[in-house]
């Protein structure tokens, strides 16, 4: 398995802090700008990069990420170009883990073996495929595993203890906890609910736990970072992209926002201890 993710979470644990996972849609608003944004993320404080693979029908995404996908597709992004972008990023950054997130249909169109081989060659470390529950993901898991890619599973507030066993069987990299029942960019979960959920997950797994959905501000990211191993922010970053479309300060604006989130995450446990 790709060691970058494991190394990164080990380093975070040694540093005594949670990580910041930043999601952007690959190639939003276009390939060149998208690549600039991704290249700026580690410097701004992102510990792990999630790259969205645009899809016409993202059924688990709210308006912000739907629109980002449309912008990227309109600008000519394809799954092959997403892999190009990942490779271009990796050429300049050997350490920051990259996880691709999206839906299965474009992957099936490329072919599971071709896709996983090309993703591994591009320096990708893991995959999150939203519409592949454990019941269906065996072929993808085999293909990913053969290329050393982590297949990251999702747990949600609706995942009960019995089902959690199934979700964790074959989970790898980290466990992504979707903190609210809803689509991306929806309302936020209460801090106490997240703490309780993370505690429940920890009783059943040693995998690092990243918490996402509904985290918009440095304060919210900090609250999550007190108990979880990482906070995931997506729609809020994508909204910054949207607010600065066509402006020369787009990449800077994203960097500033990510730096703010990162400060919130880094301060969390100091405040707490």
Partner 1 sequence: MTDAPANSFTQGPDERGHFADYGGRYVAETLMPLILEVERAYEAATRDPAFQAEFDDLLTHYVGRPSPLYFAERLTEHLGGAKIYFKRDEVNFTGAHKINNVVGQILLARRMGKTRIIAETGAGQHGVATATVAARFGLSCTVFMGAVDMARQRSNVHRMTLLGADIRPVHSGNATLKDAMNEALRHWVAEVDDTFYVIGTVAGPHPYPAMVRDFQSVIGREVREQILDREGRLPDSLVACIGGGSNAMGLFHPFLDEPTVRCRAVEAAGRGVDTGEHAASLTRGRPGVLHGNKTYLLQDADGQIIEPYSISAGLDYPGVGPEHAWLRDQGRVEYVHATDQAALDAFQLCARTEGILPALEPAHALAHVAEWAPTLPADHLMVMNLCGRGDKDMDTVVEALGLTAGEAKR
- Taking CB under 8 A as the binding criterion, the range among 8-16, 31-39, 129-137, 233-241 that sits at the site for partner 1 is 129-137
Smallest distance, Å, CB 134 to partner 1? Answer: 8
Q: Does 204 bind partner 1 (CB under 8 A)?
A: no
Could you say whether residue 130 binds partner 1 (CB under 8 A)?
A: yes
Contact 26, 49 (CB under 8 A): no
- Burial track 111-125 (b if 16+ CB lie within 10 A, e otherwise): ebeebbebbbebbbb
Non-local CB neighbours of 14 within 8 Å, separated by 6+ positions: none
182 binds partner 1 (CB under 8 A): yes
Whichever of 119 and 183 has its CB closer to partner 1, that residue is 183
Closest contact distance (angstroms) between CB of 93 and partner 1 is 26
Of residues 1-40, which lie at the interface with partner 1 (CB under 8 A)? Answer: none
Please state, in angstroms and rounded to a whole number, the distance separating the CA atoms of residues 57 and 131. 11
Any contact of residue 151 with partner 1 (CB under 8 A)? no
* Whether the Cβ atoms of residue 264 and residue 217 lie closer than 8 Å to each other: yes
* Cα 149 from Cα 141, distance rounded (Å): 9
At its nearest, how many Å lie between partner 1 and the CB of residue 201?
Answer: 13
What is the total count of residues that contact partner 1 (CB under 8 A)? 43
What is the β-pairing status of strands 19-25 and 48-52?
A: parallel
Q: Which is nearer to partner 1, 28 or 61 (CB)?
A: 61
CB of 48 to partner 1, least distance (A): 20
Is 61 a catalytic site residue?
yes
- Smallest separation, CB 83 to partner 1 (Å): 12
Question: What are the counts of helices (DSSP H) followed by strands (DSSP E) for the chain?
Answer: 12, 9
Rounded Cα distance between 118 and 210, Å, is 26
Q: Which is nearer to partner 1, 83 or 251 (CB)?
A: 83
Interface region with partner 1, contact rule CB under 8 A, candidates 71-79, 89-97, 194-202, 226-234: 71-79
60 to 65, 95, 130, 184, 250: CA distances (angstroms):
10, 29, 7, 7, 26
Where do we find the tokens 């799954």?
A: 79
Q: Which one of 28, 61, 125, 137 is the catalytic residue?
A: 61
Site for partner 1, rule CB under 8 A? 55-62, 66, 73, 78-80, 103-110, 130-133, 135-136, 153-160, 163, 167, 178, 180-183, 186
List residues with catalytic annotation.
50, 61
């Amino acid at each position: 398995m790709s060691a970058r993710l494991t190394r990164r979470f080990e380093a975070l644990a040694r540093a005594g802090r949670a990580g910041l996972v930043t999601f952007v849609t690959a190639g939003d608003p276009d390939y060149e700008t998208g690549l600039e944004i991704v290249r700026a993320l580690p410097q701004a404080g992102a510990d792990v990069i999630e790259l969205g693979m645009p899809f016409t029908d993202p059924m688990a995404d709210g308006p912000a990420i739907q629109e980002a996908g449309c912008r990227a597709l309109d600008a000519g992004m394809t799954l092959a170009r997403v892999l190009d972008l990942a490779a271009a990023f990796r050429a300049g950054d050997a350490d920051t883990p990259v996880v691709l997130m999206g839906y299965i249909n474009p992957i099936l169109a490329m072919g599971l073996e071709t896709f996983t081989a090309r993703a591994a060659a591009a320096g990708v470390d893991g995959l999150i495929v939203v519409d592949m529950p454990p019941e269906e993901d065996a072929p993808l898991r085999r293909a990913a595993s053969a290329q050393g890619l982590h297949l990251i599973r999702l747990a949600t507030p609706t995942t009960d203890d019995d089902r959690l066993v199934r979700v964790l069987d074959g989970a790898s990299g980290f466990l992504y906890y979707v903190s609210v029942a809803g689509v991306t960019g929806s309302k936020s979960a209460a801090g106490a609910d997240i703490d309780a959920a993370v505690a429940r997950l920890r009783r059943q797994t040693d995998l690092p736990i990243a918490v996402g959905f509904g985290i918009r501000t440095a304060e919210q990211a900090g609250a999550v970072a007190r108990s979880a191993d990482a906070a995931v922010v997506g729609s809020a970053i994508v909204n910054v992209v949207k607010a600065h479309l066509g402006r020369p300060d787009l990449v800077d604006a994203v960097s500033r926002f990510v730096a703010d989130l990162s400060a919130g995450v880094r301060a969390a446990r100091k405040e707490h201890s």
